[in-house]
A and B are shown apart, each in its own frame.
Chain A
Amino acid sequence: MTANSITTPRALSQEERRAMLSVRQLMWLRFRRNRLAIAGCAILAVMYLTMLLAGFVAPYSVTTTHERYVSAAPTQLHLVDADGRLQWPPFVYGITSKTDPHTFRKIYTPNPQEVYPIRFFGRGETYHLLGPLQTDIHLYIVDDPGKIFLMGTDRNGRDLFSRIIWGSRISLTVGLVGVLLSLTIGAFLGTVSGYFGGAIDMVVQRAIEVISNIPQIPLWLALAAAVPSNWDPVKVYFGIAVVLSLVTWGGLARQVRGIVLGLRDSDFVIAARYTNCSTFRILSRHLLPNTFSHVLVIATLAIPGMILGETALSFLGLGIRPPLTSWGVLLNEAQQVRVLLQQPWSLIPALFVLATVVSFNFVGDGLRDAADPFSGE
């Protein structure tokens, strides 16, 4: 197969490089171009990083109470001092509290006489950074007796922002654990169901149908209530993750089954059979790798559901138990209308949930678009 000379070397190497790329790498290239997805990735990266360094980012621990500052509004940051000069770092004023004689509610007024500059990388409470490693350096803190409540305090006087940061450890991970569990069961059963068909398929599909037809929220509530109240909080955490995954594995299994059904009769699968490939090899080398991109998308889009599920359960008091905290537990305190009106900052955890869910959705959509038409061009 001869061809006459001259093809521009520049074009060749680009095509050559592209030729060596696997499907996964090509998908990543396409994903990179989707701005919303990258934005979502960035937001999630910040959130997960913060979660890992929770003790560092949060000025106070999850249980630290400041009894004198119950239900306090968010502390104001100031950049301009009393003389009108710009100050860096920003500072906060001290807070004096008085009790209103009529309503018995606390009234907080800032006291310009007490000035506390924010100390970045300052020293505060000790905490475990990683495993046994302890330190007392925080991203931002003010000296005692100054307080900095970026998002106010709750009715026990605990800094909401710190609790949000610490709570992210639960909220951001229970979804992942749940999806992993769901996927494991769902992908396996879905593949088996789709590939073998027949009786296996029937049994699995009917099981999924029965489970999906049970109303989801009552089922969650029932399963959550079944988690024994005397379990320690960590076990409860996993219990909740299992509860969440039990309800969603059916949907995942059905989607995986659909993909496998489509692939099962592909020419390359038939070709593999005609060259004596074992069923195991066909499933593991031919079918499963071709479901990865779809499964990744499905999983990414299932995580928000799990996060919302945990939030809902905890909001209703059936999920995570203290002293562990999640955003749902924090929102629990915002249940009453009175609280909403008087301490509207209690709703801020909802914004975090929103940001997380939306980011996961952007990333999931981006993955789906990147996995989509894969043509040889």
Chain B
Amino acid sequence: MSDKNLLLEVQDLKTHFHTSRGVVRAVDGVSFSVRRSRTLGVVGESGCGKSITSLSVLRLLQRPGKIIGGQILYHWQKRNGNEEIIDITALDPDGDEMRSIRGGQIAMIFQEPMTSLDPVYTVGNQIVEGINYHLKVPPAEARKMAVEMLRRVKMPEPERIFDSYPHQLSGGMRQRAMIAMALALRPSLLIADEPTTALDVTTEAQILALLRDLQREFGMAIMYITHNLGVVAEMVEEAIVMYLGKVVERAPVRNLFYDPKHPYMMALLQSIPKLGRKSRARLQAISGMVPSPFAVPPGCPFHPRCPKFMPGVCEVSEPPVTDFGGEHAVSCFLYQ
């Protein structure tokens, strides 16, 4: 675990939303790290705070969301070889420094390519816009870079795609365009927020293969946000599991799937139908439902649904983190 390899350190991040109905603690004390050129999965269902975490990292939060605590340390490898550690939470979200990080150092691709691409500009125009902001290159050069990027993401006829509008492309192609836009500036970290959830499964396979190839080629780190356990198993080296704004388990991917410690993760694995295992038996569903974010249960947030619930313990206080070594840690009273 050499420090030289750390790229992003999120320490005790807290992002809260003050709404008229109460406070939503969307991210409530989340810590994790991403290392250079490695992949991290962020697993969780809706309401767990995974998307808000990535928006916090990029300081793209909308009101009433606000980072109220914690640090996001980015290890910036400057051109002169020195490394500078910057606390993103301390930056002005609209300032020059944050803007050069966004896109230049950390890029993001989203779930719905149709709504993330501007429908009134051509694809090429949008890629070039990003290039022009961060680098000062003549237009012909920017165009060349953009077309080259489209070629790298395996777009058929990159020159023609450059002049096409988003609505003229299929879902898979739009996603490729977005990846091209994100990687055009060779960021050190790519945040992929459910990039294949809206795609068909054969297109998803194409995009996942593409991302794996691109990572080998460009060497960027990827933070993969998804609720699809199959994608997690295939794409990431280590993962964190989030529930209601907290990290409940952190482990390398093999440990997570073959030796899950947190009851939520165990129950999740048991509840999904798996290809190749046909049985008419009922699935082992997790009882109850995700509580409303305005009524987060006290103590361990999972306790009302937990099959291993221990009365008098789990609802009283937040569970401590237990380290199992080998980077496997859990937040649960079971291991006290």
Which residue of chain A is the closest to B292 with respect to CB atoms? A15
Select the stretch in B51-59, B101-109, B247-255, B304-312 that faces chain A.
B304-312
- Which one of B294, B295, B298, B303 lies within 8 Å of A4 (CB-CB)? B303
Report whether A1 and B295 are in contact in the complex, using a CB–CB cutoff of 8 Å.
Answer: no
CB proximity to B under 8 Å, residues A1-53: 1-8, 11-12, 14-15, 33
Which residue of chain B is the closest to A29 with respect to CB atoms? B20
Number of interface residues of B (CB under 8 A): 17
Q: Does B315 contact A (CB under 8 A)?
A: yes
Flag A337-377 by CB within 8 Å of B: 1 or 0 each: 00000000000000000000000000000000000000001
* In the complex, chain A residues whose CB is within 8 Å of the CB of B288: 1-3
Q: Does B297 contact A (CB under 8 A)?
A: yes
CB distance from A10 to the nearest CB of B (A): 9
* In the complex, chain A residues whose CB is within 8 Å of the CB of B82: none
Report whether A11 and B294 are in contact in the complex, using a CB–CB cutoff of 8 Å.
Answer: yes
Report whether B291 and A7 are in contact in the complex, using a CB–CB cutoff of 8 Å.
Answer: yes
Report whether A4 and B292 are in contact in the complex, using a CB–CB cutoff of 8 Å.
Answer: no
Report whether A6 and B298 are in contact in the complex, using a CB–CB cutoff of 8 Å.
Answer: yes
The CA-CA distance from A15 to B309 in the complex, in Å, is 25
Report whether A4 and B20 are in contact in the complex, using a CB–CB cutoff of 8 Å.
Answer: no
Report whether B20 and A7 are in contact in the complex, using a CB–CB cutoff of 8 Å.
Answer: no
**Contact size range, A:** 10 to 19
The CA-CA distance from A15 to B306 in the complex, in Å, is 23
Which residue of chain B is the closest to A12 with respect to CB atoms? B295
CB distance from A52 to the nearest CB of B (A): 35
Flag B264-300 by CB within 8 Å of A: 1 or 0 each: 0000000000000000000000011001101101100
Which residue of chain B is the closest to A10 with respect to CB atoms? B295
Most buried by A among B288, B291, B297: B297
Report whether A4 and B309 are in contact in the complex, using a CB–CB cutoff of 8 Å.
Answer: yes
- Which one of A4, A8, A15 lies within 8 Å of B305 (CB-CB)? A4
Report whether A7 and B294 are in contact in the complex, using a CB–CB cutoff of 8 Å.
Answer: no
* In the complex, chain A residues whose CB is within 8 Å of the CB of B21: 377
CB distance from B296 to the nearest CB of A (A): 9
- Which one of A3, A15, A377 lies within 8 Å of B304 (CB-CB)? A3
* In the complex, chain A residues whose CB is within 8 Å of the CB of B304: 3-7
Report whether B309 and A8 are in contact in the complex, using a CB–CB cutoff of 8 Å.
Answer: no
CB distance from A282 to the nearest CB of B (A): 31
Report whether B305 and A3 are in contact in the complex, using a CB–CB cutoff of 8 Å.
Answer: yes
CB proximity to A under 8 Å, residues B223-275: none
* In the complex, chain B residues whose CB is within 8 Å of the CB of A5: 304, 311, 315
- Which one of A12, A15, A33 lies within 8 Å of B20 (CB-CB)? A33
Report whether B295 and A15 are in contact in the complex, using a CB–CB cutoff of 8 Å.
Answer: yes
CB distance from A15 to the nearest CB of B (A): 6
Given contacts A1-B288, A2-B287, contact A7 B295 (CB under 8 A): yes
The CA-CA distance from A2 to B304 in the complex, in Å, is 9
Flag B41-60 by CB within 8 Å of A: 1 or 0 each: 00000000000000000000
CB distance from B334 to the nearest CB of A (A): 15
Report whether A6 and B287 are in contact in the complex, using a CB–CB cutoff of 8 Å.
Answer: no
The CA-CA distance from A4 to B309 in the complex, in Å, is 8
Which residue of chain A is the closest to B24 with respect to CB atoms? A377
Report whether B303 and A15 are in contact in the complex, using a CB–CB cutoff of 8 Å.
Answer: no
Report whether A1 and B297 are in contact in the complex, using a CB–CB cutoff of 8 Å.
Answer: no
* In the complex, chain B residues whose CB is within 8 Å of the CB of A33: 20
* In the complex, chain B residues whose CB is within 8 Å of the CB of A1: 287-288
Report whether A4 and B306 are in contact in the complex, using a CB–CB cutoff of 8 Å.
Answer: yes
- Which one of B294, B305, B315 lies within 8 Å of A6 (CB-CB)? B315
Which residue of chain B is the closest to A6 with respect to CB atoms? B315
The CA-CA distance from A54 to B178 in the complex, in Å, is 65
- Which one of B20, B287, B292, B294 lies within 8 Å of A3 (CB-CB)? B287
CB distance from A302 to the nearest CB of B (A): 30
CB distance from B77 to the nearest CB of A (A): 42
The CA-CA distance from A377 to B294 in the complex, in Å, is 10
CB distance from B224 to the nearest CB of A (A): 27
If A3-B287, A3-B288, A11-B294 are given as contacts, then 4 extra A-B residue pairs at C-beta distance below 8 Å, sorted by A number, are: A4-B311, A5-B311, A6-B297, A377-B292
5 contacts between A and B (CB under 8 A): A5-B311, A6-B298, A7-B291, A14-B294, A15-B294
What 10 A-B pairs are tightest by C-beta distance, nearest first? A11-B295, A3-B288, A4-B309, A3-B304, A4-B304, A6-B315, A2-B287, A1-B287, A4-B303, A3-B287
Chain A residues near B (Cβ < 8 Å)? 1-8, 11-12, 14-15, 33, 377
